[in-house]
Structure 1
Amino acid sequence: MTTDTTSESSASTPLLDLQTLVVAVRRRRRLWCSLALLGLLIGAAVAVLRPPPPTAVTKVLVVHAEDQANDTGTLIRTDVELLGTTRIADKALQSLKSREKPEDFMRDYRGTGLTNNLLQIVVTGDSDAEAVARAKALAEAFVADHVKRMEETAKAEAKALFDQRDRMRDELTKVNEEIGDRSPESDPQDAASIESLFARRAALNSRIADFDQRAAEARTGTPKVLAGTQIVDAPRAVQHSLPKAAVTNTAIGLVLGLVLGLALAAVGAVVADRPVLRRQIAANLGASVIAELPRRSGRLWQRRRTRAARERLTTTLARTVRGSAEPLSLLELGCARSTSVIALNLAGALAAEGPVVIIDGLPGPQLAKRRQKPGGPAVVSGERAAEVSPQERRIGVGSVAPGTAWTDLQYLGTQTVLVVRAGHGSAAWLHTVARQLADQRIPVIGVVLIDPDPRDRTDGTLWDGQHTALRGQTERLARQNGTDRRRTERLPVWAAKGPDNDQEAR
C-alpha cells in the first residue's frame, strides 16, 4: 500500500507547476527588477562614458563580369572579404602616407554588401576629417584593385583565346599545304581524302572566326566593368546623437537585464523547490493554514487590515490556550521577529487572566534583549523553563530552522502553531519538520503564513486533518463528553499509509 500511495502521489504532482513558478518568480521581483535597473544604468553609462568614435561611411557600386540576375550575393560577399585583406589596407595606407600597420587598420573598418552590386564601407578614425579621408582612400584602393583584377582577367582571357586562334591558324596552314592545287575533279582516285581536307579547312576557318569574336567580346566587356565600378556615395562623417544613443543603450540594457533576471529567478525557483502557495505549505506540513500576516507593516492603507488580522489571530490563539490544559508553543521558520510579535500579543491578551511566562527558545535576540514593561509578560530563557511555576501560563517560542535541537521542542509546548514564511523553506525541509514534530508527538494545530503571495487563491485547509486542527477542538471536546461524532481522518501527505491506516480508512 505504501508503494501504491507513493505512486499515486507522484502521478498527481506535476513535474513543473506553472502556477508555483509564476508566483515564485513574482516574489523574486527584487532580483529581476534590480538586474533590469542595473542593465539600464550600464547602458546609459556606456552611452555617456564610451561614445562611438568618429565614423565615416561611403558606398561603392561594384560591377562584375559574371553578374547574373539570379545571383544570391556570392560575388558581393567575395568583395566584402577582399576588402578585409592586407593588400587593400596597405594600398589605402600608402595613399594616406600612414605608417600604421595594415593589420591594425583592418580593425577600424568594415564592409557590408547592401545589394548584389552595392558595397558600403564604414571607417572610424580619431576625428571626422581623418575618418572621411580614410574612407575615401579605402574606397579608391578597392575600386583600383577591382579594376586591375578585371583588366587582368580580361587580358588573360583574350590572350588564351588568341593563343587558341593562332594554333588553329597554324593547323589551317598545314591543311592548305596538303591541299595545294589539287581538287576532287583533278584527282578522282584521291577524291575522298581531298574532300576531307576541304571539310577540315572549313571547320578551322569557322573556329578561328569564333575565337576572334570571343576575344573581341572579352575586350568589349571590360570597359563596361571598369566604367561601372565607382564611388556612388562620397565619404561623409556620420553624426551621432548622444540622447538617441543613450535611449537605445538604456533600452537594450533594460531588456537584457530583465530577461537575465527572469531567467535566474525561474531557474532558482525550480532548483530550490521552495513552496510558496498555501496549498503546498499546508500539504507539506500536514496542517491547515489558520492565518496570514504580511512580513512588514505595509502601506498606510494596508495597516488597518494587518492590525485586524493580527487581532483575529491573537483572539484565536488565546481561545485555544484557554480551552486546553496543554502548553502551546510557537515555532518559527524564517520569521523570528514576526513570531516574537505574535507571542507578545498573545501573552498580552492572556495577562489579564493571570500570570503569563514566555519561554524564549529563539536563537536570536528578538525576545532576550527586550525590555520588560511593567505588568507585561515575563520572558525566560529555555534553560530556565523548568523553574516556571505550574500556576503560570506558558507560551513557548522556538525555531524549526536547520540546526534545531528537536528533543528540546517538547519543553516549549506539547502542541504547537508553526509560523512559516512563504518561500523560505524547501519542500524537503518542511517534510523534515513535520516528521520530527510527529516523532516528538507534538501535534501541529495550525500554520500561520507570513508574507503570503497576495494573488494566491489556493486552499490552505486540509479537510481530512481535523485530528489536530483548531477547528477540530470542538469535536474532541464533544468526544470527551461522550457525544462522539465520527469523521474520516488520514495522515498528512508526507507520511506513507500503512496497512493499519488503510484498514481504519476502509
Structure 2
Amino acid sequence: MTTSKTSESSASTPLLDLHALVVAVRRRRRLWCALALLGLLAGAALAVLKPPPPSATVKVLVAHAEDQPNDTGTLIRTDVEVLGTTRIAGQALRTLGSSENPEDFLRDYRGTGLTNNLLQIDVVGDSDADAVARAEALADVFIADHVRRMRSAANAEAKALLDQRDRMRTELAEVNKEIGSRSPDTDPNESASIETLFARRAELNSRIADFDQRAAEARTGTPKVVAGTQIVDAPRAVRHSLPKTAATDAGIGLVLGLVLGLALAAVGVVVADRPVLRRDIAANLGASVIAELPHHSGRPWRRRRTRATRERLTAHLARTVRGSTDDVSLLELGCARGASVIALDLAGALATEGPVTVVDGLPGPQLAGRAPKSGNVTVVGGERAATVPHQERRLGVGSVAPGTAWTDLQYLGTQTVLVVRAGHGSAAWLHTVARQLADQHIPVIGVVLIDPDPRDRTDGTLWDGLQTALRGRSERPARQNGTGQQRTERLPAWAARGADNDQEGR
C-alpha cells in the first residue's frame, strides 16, 4: 500500500510544471524588463560613446581561368583566404610606405565573397582618407598578385605542353631518319614495317600540332584573366549614421537583455521553488484558499473591485468568528501590511457586537501605526495578551515568517487564517508552517492569498483533503455520508509522504 501511494504521488507530480514556471517567470517581469531596458540603454550608449572607426570599402571583380557555371564559390573563398595572408598585407603596407606589422594590419581589414567572382574588401583606418588609401592599396596588390599567379600558372602549363611537343619532335626526327628514302612500293618485303613507320610519323605530327594548339590556348587565356580582374567599385569611405547605429545597437542590447532576464528568471524560479499558483499553495499548506486580494489597489475600477472583495472577506471571516467559541488569529507570510488591514476590518465588523481587542504579534510597526476605525477596537502588544479580559473578544495578528516563535502562536488564537503572499515562501517553508501549526494544534480555517496571478485558473480548494495540516496518518475517518457509509479524507501530499516514511521506519 505504501509503495502504491508513493508511486501515485510521484506520477501525479511532474518533474517540471511548465504552467507554474510560466506564471512565476511572468510575475518576475520586473527583473527581465529591467534587464531588457538596461540592454537597450547600454546598446544606445555604446553607439554614442564608442562610434565605429572610419572605414572604406572597395569591390573587385575576380576572373578565374577555371571558372565554371556550377562553381559553388570555392574559387572566391580561396581568394578571400589569399587576401588574408601576411604576403598581401605586407605588400600593401610597402605600397603605403607604412612600417606597421602585417599581423596587426590583418585585423584591420577583411574580405567577403559576394558572388563567385565579386570580392568586397572592407578596411578601417585612422581617418576616412587613410581607410580609402588602404582599401585602394589592398585592391591593387590583390589584383597584381592574382594576375601574377594566373600568368605563372598559364606559363607553367604552356611550358609543360611545349616540352611534350619537343619530345614528340625528337621522336619524329628519329622516325623520319629510319624511313629515309624508302617506300612500300620500292621494297615489297618490308612493306608492313614501312607502313607502321609512316603511321607513327602521322600520329606524331598530329600530336605535335595538338600540343602547339594547347600551348597557344594556355597563353591566350591569361589576357582574359588579366583584363577581367579589375576594380568595379572604386574605394570609398563608408558613412555611418549615428541614429541608425544607435537604433541597431539598442535593438541588439534589448534582445540580449530580455533573453538574459528571462533565463535568470527561469533559473531563479526553478532553484527557489516558490509556489505561485493557488493549487500549489493550498496543497503545500494543507488548507483551501478562501479569498484573494491584490497587493496594490491600482486603478480606480480595480479599487472598487478590491474594496468589494475585502468586504466579502470581512463578512465571511466575521461569520466564522461569530460561530466559533475559540479565538481566531491572522498569521501572515510576506504581507504584514495586508494582514493588518484585514485584521482591523474584521475587528471593526465585530465591534458592533461588543469590544474587540487586537493582539499585535507582528515583528514590525505595521499594525501599531494604524488607528482602529471603531472606538470598541483596542490594539495591544503581544506582551499584554494575558491582560485581556476573557469576556472580551480577542483577535490575534502574528507572523509565520522565518524566525517565528512557534510556541507563542497559540496565545494569539487557537485557530487561524493564513494570509500568504503568492511566490513569497518556498515550498519547504510552507511545509514547515503547516507542520508547526499542526504540532501546536492550531487548525487552519483557510488561506487568504495576497497578490495572486490574474491569469491563474487553478483550483485552490482541497475538495478531498483535510482542512487542517494534521500529520502522522495518511487517512482519518470522517462523518458518514447520506448512504450510511463512512468516507475518508486524505492528507496533503507532504503529510502522506511523511506517514509512509514513518510506517517504513516502524
Answer whether TM exceeds 0.5 for this pair.
yes
Residues 171-186 of structure 1: pairs in structure 2 closer than 5 A: 171-186=171-186
- Distance change >3 Å, CA 153–CA 197, structure 1 → 2: same
> Residue 112 of structure 1: CA displacement?
0.8
Partners of 1:499 and 1:376 in 2: how far apart? 44
Call closer, same or farther: CA 1:395–1:376 in 2, change over 3 Å.
Answer: closer
Aligned residue runs from structure 1 range 78-157, under 5 A: 78-157=78-157
Q: What is the Cα deviation at residue 176 of structure 1?
A: 2.5
Please give the per-residue CA displacement for 1:403-443, whole angstroms capped at 9, x wherever unaligned.
43433333332211111111122333323322332233221
CA distance in 1, matches of 2:180, 2:343: 132
Give the equivalent residue in structure 2 for 1:293: 293
The equivalent of 2:213 in structure 1 is 213
SS across alignment from 1:135: helix
Q: Which residue of 2 aligns with 1:378?
A: 379
1:355 Cα deviation after fit: 4.3
**1:491 equivalent in structure 2:** 490
Give TM-score, length-normalised by structure 1: 0.88
- How far apart are 1:285 and its partner, in Å? 1.7
User: Do the aligned partners of residues 48 and 90 (structure 1) sit closer, same or farther apart at CA in structure 2, a change above 3 Å counting?
Assistant: same
Q: Write the distance in 2 (CA, Å) between the matches of 1:385 and 1:3.
A: 48
Letter in 2 for 1:231: I
- Alignment RMSD: 2.9
In structure 2, relative to structure 1, the CA distance for the partners of 1:405 and 1:324 (3 Å cut) is: same
Q: Secondary structure at the match of 1:404?
A: coil
Q: What are the residue-to-residue correspondences of 1:15-414 with 2, within 5 Å?
A: 15-367=15-367, 376-381=377-382, 385-414=385-414
Residues 467, 489 of structure 1: 8 Å contact kept? no
Residue pair 1:274, 1:425 contacting (<8 A) in 2 also: yes
Mapping 1:450-469, distance limit 5 Å:
450-465=450-465
Query: Take 1:87 and 1:280, find their aligned partners in 2: how far apart are those partners?
Result: 69
TM-aligned CA deviation for residue 59 of structure 1 = 0.8
Q: Distance in 1 between matches of 2:218 and 2:353?
A: 115
The one-letter code matched in structure 2 to 1:377 is: T
Distance 2:46 2:465 in 1: 59
Secondary structure at 1:401 match in 2: coil
Query: Distance between the aligned counterparts of 1:195 and 1:173, measured in 2?
Result: 17
The 8 Å contact of residues 288 and 467 in structure 2, kept in 1 or not, is answered as no
CA-to-partner distance for each residue in 1:361-381, whole Å, 9 max, x for gaps?
333343467789986423223
Give the AA of the match of 2:106: M
- TM-aligned CA deviation for residue 255 of structure 1: 2.3
SS in 2 for 1:72: coil
Matched AA of 1:262: L
Residue 181 of structure 1, CA deviation: 3.1
**DSSP-derived class of the 1:395 partner:** strand
Contact 1:273 1:426 in 2 (8 A): yes
CA–CA separation in structure 2 for the residues paired with 1:266 and 1:346: 38
Label 1:270 to 1:360 Cα distance change in 2 as closer, same or farther (>3 A): same
Distance (whole Å) between structure 2 residues aligned to residue 58 and residue 274 of structure 1: 59
- Secondary structure of 1:490's aligned partner: strand
Mean Cα displacement is larger for which, 40-49 or 5-14?
A: 5-14
Distance in 1 of aligned mates of 2:310 and 2:390: 28
SS in 2 for 1:420: strand
**1:79 alignment partner AA:** D
Q: What is the SS of the residue equivalent to 1:248? A: helix
Structure 1 residue 16 displacement after superposition: 3.6
1:132 is matched by which residue type in structure 2?
Answer: V
Aligned partners of 1:422 and 1:431: how far apart in 2? 15
TM-score by length of 2: 0.88
Q: Which runs of 5 or more residues in structure 1 are unaligned?
A: 470-478, 501-506
Whole-angstrom CA distance in 2 between matches of 1:169 and 1:314? 118
Equivalenced residues, count: 487
Structure 1 pair 3–384 and aligned structure 2 pair: CA distance change class (3 A): farther
Cα distance in 2, alignment partners of residues 76 and 428 from structure 1: 63
Task: Using the TM superposition, name which of 75-84 and 338-347 deviates more.
Answer: 338-347
Do 1:464 and 1:488's aligned partners in 2 also have CA atoms closer than 8 Å?
A: no
Aligned position for 2:476: none
Query: Structure 1 residue 206: deviation in Å?
Result: 2.1
What is the CA distance between 1:487 and its match in structure 2? Answer: 8.2
